[in-house]
Amino acid sequence: MTSAHAAPTVSAPPAATPYGTLPPASTPSARKPMSLPRLREMHAQGEKITMLTAYDATFAAVADAAGVECILVGDSLGMVCQGLTSTVGVTLEAMRHHTECVANGLRRSHGVAWLIGDLPFGSYHASREQALRSAVTLMQAGAHMVKLEGGGWTTETVRFLVERGIPVCAHLGLTPQTVHALGGYRVQGKTDESAALLRREASALQDAGASMLVLEMVPASVSAEVTALLTHCPTIGIGAGNGTAGQVLVLHDMLGMNLGKMPKFVRNFMDGDGTQSSSIRGAMEAYVRAVKDGSFPVNSAHAW
């Protein structure tokens, strides 16, 4: 019979899994967890913000360890993971699943990155209430922020979500979910009229409470103007030149793992030309350094 004062039994540590690339509890990071105040502070100080996409636990943990501040679970997973020809076929359930995978990877590795989940096509278009339900799904899966595409009608949706405590990243320029309406993957904001519209929509989204704005395939001069116009909403460029507050790339692109033609705005950080790395983490670290020191992107090579 066990004494009432006997020491409690201590369970043995869990056995290592045969395929686990992440330790059950790695050494906590010395970096502080990313937050909206920290992102705003970086923006105010002129420090470039780095972002990469990730779709699973392991790549998310590696990106975080490499110093990437923001991880986007992009609906680009439809193209790089599912083999689709556009992002239109990605479902909310797929986004929920991959967001949860990434969040689990960050938790297991004591990650500190800010996690953004894409609201897929059709998940926020019917009403503000539908957008709220979809955003809640991604937030409950582990996202810290949701991203949606477009200006104009989305402004009030952004306001509706922000008023309910959901941080929002907006997205202007080339919006892949509406690629068929745009006539293909084309540079946006090239004319004076379209550039003026982009500036108006960016200002409206900031006023509605958007905390971040992705600018995709926008002329470098226009994206720099938008960046200067927005006082408290940092811009994140992809194919938008080096005048934005930060940069984002699709993970597979910057690792040279592209199933099709490499976009002009991409740099392969694993191509082994002496400045890149032969390891995935090294390539991510090189990307972070290049964005921070301004050597990527180069407007003459990666922008319009």
Is 100 known to be catalytic? no
Q: Is 177 exposed, middle or buried (0-12, 13-18, 19+ CB in 10 A)?
A: buried
Rounded to 10 degrees, the C-alpha dihedral 229/234/236/239 comes to 10
Structure tokens at 204: 């409206």
What sign has the CA pseudo-torsion 31, 32, 36, 42? negative
Q: How far is CA 12 from CA 15, 21, 26, 206, in A?
A: 8, 21, 17, 52
Specify the residue for token string 């201590």: 10
Catalytic position from the list 100, 149, 201, 216: 216
Q: Is 277 exposed, middle or buried (0-12, 13-18, 19+ CB in 10 A)?
A: middle
Q: How far is CA 67 from CA 134, 215, 229, 290, 292, in A?
A: 29, 22, 28, 12, 11
CA 220 – CA 218 distance, rounded (Å): 6
Specify the residue for token string 């869990």: 14
Which residues have a catalytic role annotated?
216
